[in-house]
Amino acid sequence: MAIHDAYARFTPYELLLPDPEIPDRCFTAITREAEERGVDAGNPAAFVLMGAVQGAVAELREEDAGPESAHDHAGIVFFAYHLWRTGGGVVLAGRKTLRELLGVGSRAGACPMPKPSSAPRGEGGVGDGGSERSRDTADVEEDTGPGWTETLAGRAGYVQLPQHLAWIDTPDEPPESVDGFFWHGDEQGALHVAMVAGMRKDRPGYVVVSVPPQPLDALPGWASGPAREGGGDFSTSLPGAELDGLVGIRTPAEVFKLVALVLGRFARERPEPVSPPPPSTSDGDPQPNDAGPRPTTLPSTVL
């Protein structure tokens, strides 16, 4: 399949919230309840227990979804809410940028491998544990410069990868094309992440893989070392991998490493997403067509 990075595509956020009035209705109620009850909405465990969150989940879930899926839906609503609350947007990591980032950094020792958390198609959960890479001050300053925590704390967004460039590639499951990842830096200095894959026109929903939150100031350590035992980070045996330069993700540590590298670049460059222009009627302007991916309506920028 052709790799696409010409513009930011329709996102899981927009797929989750097809009615544009849902955020103002449901998310405003979440904010009001959090303020009235003194709940830290940046804490995933406290977030999913709020009545307004359960109401939003009930509205967004499919009618035939089992009761056990409620917590998983609340997990992905956590990221959607914080993207809405902070006015976050979409950052498209271009093909050249991503390949450049994934080809650097191998100074530190092997990463500890936290247990991954995965969610069924169309659902998501938020991890509740984590581990911290060993690192030193020089690594932090060299990898990100000043402002890593200051840039990401209190913000949220969605990082989109080039379509069909990165793949979840595990031995026991069919490969899934990675669309991108939600992220939220809470006020306590932790980064929450959920990776999204399997967004396809021929089936509903998507796959969400959540990983344990990490301290923001620990992430440069994840960016600087190998994420697979024996090396070979991000390699894959998928057909055409060498010709197309495909990226394979097999371990939770590779998720952390990819996130740390991309958000580290974001923290340094600080690009600001802008709202998309209205559709042009000029024949001279190239426009996404029915054969290409649907463009996002959210503010977006390219890294």
pLDDT of residue 291: 55
pTM value is 0.82
Tell whether 5 is covered by a domain: no
pLDDT of residue 129: 37
Question: Helix count (H) and strand count (E) of the chain?
Answer: 12, 9
**Cα 246 from Cα 248, distance rounded (Å):** 7
Tell whether 7 is covered by a domain: no
What is the DSSP pairing of strand 155-160 with strand 90-92? parallel
Q: Report DSSP letters for 31-54, one per residue.
A: HHHHHHHT--TTSHHHHTTSHHHH
Query: Is 80 in a helix, a strand, or coil?
Result: helix
Tell whether 57 is covered by a domain: yes
Query: Is 189 in a helix, a strand, or coil?
Result: coil
In the chain, the amino acid numbered 112 is P
Tell whether 4 is covered by a domain: no
Under a CB-based contact definition with an 8 Å cutoff, are residues 44 and 75 in contact? yes
**Cα 41 from Cα 71, distance rounded (Å):** 15
Domains of the chain: total: 1
pLDDT of residue 78: 96
Tell whether 35 is covered by a domain: yes
Report the candidate in 59, 22, 10, 7 with the shortest Cα–Cα distance to residue 196.
10
Tell whether 3 is covered by a domain: no
Tell whether 99 is covered by a domain: yes
**Cα 23 from Cα 81, distance rounded (Å):** 8
Q: Containing H/E element for 212?
A: strand 207-215
**Cα 123 from Cα 267, distance rounded (Å):** 29
pLDDT of residue 137: 33
Report the candidate in 129, 262, 116, 265 with the shortest Cα–Cα distance to residue 190.
129
Both structure tokens of 10: 């329709």
Domain carrying residue 165? 12-277+289-302
Residue in the block written with tokens 């925590």: 149
CB atoms inside a 10 Å sphere around CB 144: 24
Using CA atoms, how far residue 218 sits from 28, 76, 130, 132, 251, in Å, is: 32, 24, 11, 6, 18
Q: What is the DSSP letter of 77?
A: H
pLDDT of residue 131: 38
CB atoms inside a 10 Å sphere around CB 22: 16
In the chain, the amino acid numbered 184 is H
**Cα 255 from Cα 214, distance rounded (Å):** 12
pLDDT of residue 117: 36
Tell whether 251 is covered by a domain: yes
**Which residues in the chain show pLDDT less than 50?**
68, 104-146, 281, 285-290
Both structure tokens of 132: 């911290």
Report the candidate in 151, 183, 148 with the shortest Cα–Cα distance to residue 11.
183
